[in-house]
């Protein structure tokens, strides 16, 4: 890893790891295997938390120069998401190709680490979690595999020299953390206001390179037994209309539900 003056002279490489997920408006249907989401009719979007990662990487590039490389693991379809990130301003992309059943988080982290390591990035960005499996694991796992420090759920960011100062939400407050680069950061909503792609950006993205490489297959660390729909909540009841219903509501909450 470059350090000191050499680091100042060398350009800052930033990697943004993104994931394509089912739209948050999706009504989940279970696939015939009983273990996965039925993809029929699903609209695929960029994981919402990844938008903040991309935006912050682009802002850092505007400030410090260098290169932004988008990386994503998945089937052919993820190139749509990568092309979208190129339209926003990333310089190039790497598609870690994986077809077939979803890999567990450690397998994904290993495959991404293999693609990311030779890039020698100063910053690696992730969204704080993907809104499909809600695991929130791949960022800190990749950091650990590459022996990089990591700060998760970043809500404020400032870069100065070879260090970044960040804020993250914790229960009942915020932690202010200083991290030494190179580092892995995962982003929370509220970090910034993500930009939209311009027409010029969309046109330029068509000419930017997407390098495809196969995902290294490893052994599974976690195995899905089943995926099912949650038990439906029993239909509730309308206690009444307007403020006149309030005393009865309070009585039910006390005596029937016993929650107050």
Partner 1 sequence: MSVLVFIEQREGRVRPVTREVLGEATRIAAALGGPVVGVAAAAGDADLAALAEAGAERVLLAQHPRFATYDGEGYAAAVEAAVRVCSPQAVLFAASAMGKDLAPRVAARLGVGQASDCTHVQAGGGALIATRPVYAGKAIQRVRFPKSPALLTLRPKVFAATPKPGARAAVEPLAVDLSGPARERVLRVAAAAGGKVDLTESEIIVSGGRGLKGPENFRLVEELAKSLGATVGASRAVVDAGWRPHHDQVGQTGKTVSPKLYVAVGISGAIQHLAGMSSSRCIVAINKDPEAPIFKVADYGIVGDLFEIVPALTAEVEKLNAHA
Q: In the window 187-226, what residues touch partner 1 (CB under 8 A)?
A: 188-190, 219-226
Query: E strands along 110-171, which residues?
Result: 123-127, 150-160, 163-170
Peptide bond into 182 cis (omega under 30): yes
- Burial label, 223 (beta-carbon count in 10 A; 0-12, 13-18, 19+): exposed
Q: Is 117 in the site for partner 1 (CB under 8 A)?
A: no
Tokens of 25: 């408006």
8 C-beta neighbours (distance < 10 Å), count: 12
Least Å distance, CB 115 to partner 1, is 16
- Burial label, 218 (beta-carbon count in 10 A; 0-12, 13-18, 19+): middle
Q: Is 81 in the site for partner 1 (CB under 8 A)?
A: no
Nearer to partner 1, 70 or 104 (CB): 104
Tokens of 118: 């030779």
Q: Which region among 6-14, 84-92, 200-208, 247-255 touches partner 1 (by CB under 8 A)? A: 247-255
Q: Is 242 in the site for partner 1 (CB under 8 A)?
A: yes
Nearer to partner 1, 154 or 205 (CB): 154
Candidate residues 177, 202, 204, 210; the one interacting with partner 1 per rule CB under 8 A: 177
**Interface of this chain with partner 1, residues 39 to 58, rule: CB under 8 A:** 48-49
Nearer to partner 1, 178 or 211 (CB): 178
The site for partner 1, by CB under 8 A, has a size of 87
Nearer to partner 1, 62 or 134 (CB): 134
Least Å distance, CB 258 to partner 1, is 9
Nearer to partner 1, 48 or 201 (CB): 48
Binding mask 135-154 vs partner 1 (x if CB under 8 A, - otherwise)?
Answer: xxxxxxxxxxx---xxxxx-
Q: Is 183 in the site for partner 1 (CB under 8 A)?
A: yes
- Burial label, 123 (beta-carbon count in 10 A; 0-12, 13-18, 19+): buried
Write the CA distances from 30 to 86, 130, 143, 220, integer angstroms.
Answer: 33, 19, 33, 22
Do residues 167 and 174 touch, judged by C-beta distance below 8 A? Answer: yes
């Amino acid at each position: 890893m470059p350090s000191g003056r050499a680091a100042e002279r060398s350009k800052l490489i930033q990697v943004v790891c993104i994931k394509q997920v089912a739209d948050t408006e999706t009504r989940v249907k279970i696939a015939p295997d009983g273990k996965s989401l039925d993809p029929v009719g699903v609209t695929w979007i960029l994981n919402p938390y990844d938008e903040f990662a991309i935006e912050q990487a682009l802002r850092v590039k505007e400030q410090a120069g260098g290169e932004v490389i988008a990386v994503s693991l998945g089937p052919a379809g993820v190139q749509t998401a990568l092309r979208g990130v190129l339209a926003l301003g990333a310089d190039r992309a790497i598609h870690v190709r994986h077809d077939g059943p979803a890999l567990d988080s450690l397998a994904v982290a290993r495959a991404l680490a293999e693609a990311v390591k030779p890039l020698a990035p100063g910053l690696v960005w992730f969204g704080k979690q993907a809104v499909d499996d809600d695991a929130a694991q791949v960022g800190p796992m990749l950091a650990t595999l590459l022996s990089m420090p990591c700060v998760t759920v970043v809500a404020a960011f400032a870069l100065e020299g070879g260090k970044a100062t960040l804020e993250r939400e914790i229960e009942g407050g915020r932690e202010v953390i200083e991290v030494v680069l190179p580092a892995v950061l995962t982003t929370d909503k509220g970090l910034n206001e993500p930009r939209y792609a311009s027409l010029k950006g969309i046109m330029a993205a068509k000419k930017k390179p997407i390098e495809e490489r196969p995902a290294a297959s490893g052994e599974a660390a976690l195995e899905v037994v089943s995926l099912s729909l949650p038990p439906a909540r029993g239909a509730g009841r309308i206690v009444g209309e307007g403020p006149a219903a309030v005393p009865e509501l309070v009585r039910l909450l006390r005596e029937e539900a016993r929650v107050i």
